[in-house]
Chain A
């Protein structure tokens, strides 16, 4: 996505006539197009499709043993990554947990570098030393890819601290799942961010399951947003399947961070369409097939597609073409990764320590 589209401001647009599909149980109906231009809407759709097709390729590669270890797919949550990344600037910072492929793609890290990382190759964005859970990219201020639930939330506060220390006006966006709100690190980070007025946007991607444990079985108060009040922090809850709603919420949070130097906690309600990782069934153990199917009706790509279709700006032919392009990007990433060399053995011992001093 270009800088221009990332920076384009949004205003609530006039209501469109077309009706959005709204099959989700607790989703807010949202009819407008979020003040976006047709060009931007196509960019958003392209970004989400690219993630979807990339993740499908990952599942295939995992089944063939080309990707190893733990691998957590983002399918179903793409409106969040795309919506968030479309609102922030290139000099802003992102830090996230281990379900990080979609965010890395939406941020603009090359699909080839990401797939090469998943394949454990030298050309990977972490040179084959991080893998699926530890995607890093200094060029786009993508600070990882962290594997301990909640452990990276205080780090986001630290990035916010550094922004304040240097009197910058960037923001740091921190993604984590709803299960992290029960971790001490989350609470310590929120307290410090609010106490010290740090420009951090904490995003709870509430997909309702921490691995296989439903939020009702893990969290005394399922309304995770009340935790913002506990730290005198602004908070918003938003339909995370609606890319326009995500963008509008982000616009307010970014303004709060840049102008008022205040953090925000945002709950983005979503659903993952795959298992927690590649090792669990999509449904049948901890959630029912019916529940999954019901939620898949609010596929974020479908939601955007329908909105554009109803606005008369997207034909089925065009949709197919965009989808084919997304598939081609994923295939190209696979081909590139597959042909890339493994890291040379000498690199086993590099990057343990930096040999520089200040």
Chain B
């Protein structure tokens, strides 16, 4: 297996799917000549030309709608948002049209498309550029929401997303693009809706997704040195969500911490805790705790930003609390 960056894994997925199906095209700001704001589309313009790698003006609502219209009549657009923060300008097309047209039309018009781009906080980008949107988007029936945390998952899930006949929201992480991991050499797909147990332990389950998978893995390493072994359940997809994988883990460990990048109120973790109380009520030895961003817009100052973000320290503290160790 080759070791690739998350960015290169995404580029591979795009290239392979563009080669496989000429209905697939990529559209967004700076995706072509500039090679992508985060270089995910590097080299694709040269290979596929300007009709399939399409630079757009800064007009999120406009080009998201163009993607929707093209999908409605049978093309397979990949719409890149430079960040998901900018996608708010286009949310009518995502929520009111892409997610609902199959249903409203009684099954007549499919919407085979992907909306993708970086999600969540990077470093000192302040309040408008540092937000994790998965709980908003996962709320909407009709959308699928994917949150890969590793290069291998990024590639396998993006390929599945492009082949899916539904509108798929694909949330990448700006801080993940340079992370590395093993990626299979042969072609593979990762099924949408399947979590992965990324670390096995008996003492506590940490249920997470996206960028926080890296935090959970670090926590697992650190705690192992203290003799505490945790399950790390990487949801990988937050809609549909793999309730069985969550239950299986919690029924084994009897304790759970839910870790996410977004805010507390109506966050993804709220939903996971709901599944746990329904499926694992008699299995729990402690209340389930959540780790998330503090309930404030993201501050700019380094120290404040650090304090606002969920991190390994907060996660370790939560795990020890549910294990009654502190």
The segment from A154-162, A258-266, A325-333 found at the interface with B is A154-162
Residues of A within 8 A of B142 (CB): 352-353
- A189 contacts partner chain B, Cβ-Cβ < 8 Å: yes
Interface members, chain B 72-112 (any A CB < 8 Å) = 72-77, 92-93, 96-97, 101-110, 112
Shortest CB distance B293–A (Å): 30
**Knowing A151-B96, A162-B70, A162-B74 touch, does A189 contact B65 (C-beta < 8 A)?**
yes
Contact with B along A160-201 (1 / 0, CB 8 A): 111001000000100000000000110011011001000000
- A45 contacts partner chain B, Cβ-Cβ < 8 Å: no
Tell me whether B106 and A136 are in contact (CB under 8 A).
Answer: yes
**Knowing A151-B96, A158-B67, A165-B51 touch, does A192 contact B62 (C-beta < 8 A)?**
yes
A93 to B73, CA, bound (A): 9
A246 to B19, CA, bound (A): 45
- B285 contacts partner chain A, Cβ-Cβ < 8 Å: no
Tell me whether B21 and A130 are in contact (CB under 8 A).
Answer: no
Contact with B along A114-144 (1 / 0, CB 8 A): 0000000000111111100010111000011
- A216 contacts partner chain B, Cβ-Cβ < 8 Å: no
A127 to B103, CA, bound (A): 9
Shortest CB distance A233–B (Å): 14
The segment from B36-44, B158-166, B260-268 found at the interface with A is B158-166
A358 to B168, CA, bound (A): 14
Residues of A within 8 A of B313 (CB): none
A124 to B104, CA, bound (A): 11
Tell me whether B96 and A148 are in contact (CB under 8 A).
Answer: yes
Tell me whether B106 and A154 are in contact (CB under 8 A).
Answer: no
Q: Return the contact of B105 from the options A126, A154, A158 (Cβ within 8 A).
A: A126
Residues of B within 8 A of A159 (CB): 69-70, 72-73
**Knowing A129-B106, A138-B109, A159-B72 touch, does A191 contact B59 (C-beta < 8 A)?**
yes
Tell me whether A152 and B107 are in contact (CB under 8 A).
Answer: no
Shortest CB distance A205–B (Å): 20
**Knowing A157-B66, A354-B110 touch, does A162 contact B104 (C-beta < 8 A)?**
no
The 4 A-B residue pairs with the shortest CB-CB distance, nearest first, are A158-B69, A154-B65, A188-B62, A127-B106
* Given A134-B104, A162-B75; 15 other pairs, CB 8 A cutoff: A126-B105, A127-B106, A134-B105, A146-B97, A154-B61, A157-B66, A158-B68, A165-B51, A165-B75, A192-B62, A192-B66, A195-B57, A352-B142, A354-B112, A354-B165
Residues in chain B within 8 A of chain A (CB atoms): 21, 23, 25, 51, 56-57, 59, 61-77, 92-93, 96-97, 101-110, 112, 141-142, 144, 160, 163-166
Residues in chain A within 8 A of chain B (CB atoms): 93, 95, 124-130, 134, 136-138, 143-148, 151-162, 165, 172, 184-185, 188-189, 191-192, 195, 350-354, 356-358
